[in-house]
Amino acid sequence: MPFYDYACKKCDCVFEIMHSFKDKPKPACPKCNSTNTQKVVSACGIIIHSTRAKTFVLDAVKQESDKRAALKQMGIENIKPMAGVTLDQVYAEIDKNKTAVREQMCAQKEKDNAARKIKQREWLRKAVKRTPERAKIRKEMQAKEEAAKRAIRL
């Protein structure tokens, strides 16, 4: 018989109960004895008894991690294949077109660097324009302050 997780709506206690799939129980909360509970969706564990199946699963996991490591060495990180596409297909495509992928990545980096430089130049240009304006405003403020001081002395 499987275990099921339940949560109490009163005290937010989460507890586990074993019952048949066909049963529809209304279990009581072990903390507050309330029957106002709700079944909670929980993760299930998979037990693999066959050593051959275990090695198959472990090999598949190792191959995927090796492929991700190889892609990381190429400079490709955080790959999330689209729906219907496996990591094996993505890796095979990239491995087949290594030079093309590297060229595209280099071109994108150059494009990003050029855009960043343009933004920096524009920011500097605006900053240079602002500086004379600020200097004029500062001089005007100083002249007003000095005029105010002279007016007080007289």
Mean pLDDT of the chain: 81
CA proximity to 13, closest of 54, 141, 132, 34: 34
* Cα–Cα distance measured from residue 107 to residue 113, given in angstroms and rounded to the nearest whole number: 10
Q: Identify residue 98 by its one-letter amino acid code.
A: K
The domain limits of the chain are 3-40, 51-83, 97-154
Percentage of residues in the chain with pLDDT exceeding 90? 6
Where residue 1 falls among pLDDT bands split at 50, 70, 90?
low
Model confidence pLDDT, tens digit, residues 69-119: 887 777 777 777 777 777 778 778 877 777 777 777 778 888 999 999 999
SS (H, E, C) the chain: CCEEEEEECCCCCEEEEECCCCCCCCCCCCCCCCCCEEEECCCCCCCCCCHHHHHHHHHHHHHHHHHHHHHHHCCCCCCCCCCCCCHHHHHHHHHHCHHHHHHHHHHHHHHHHHHHHHHHHHHHHHHHHHHHHHHHHHHHHHHHHHHHHHHHHC
**Cβ contacts of 151 within 8 Å, gap of 6 or more:** none
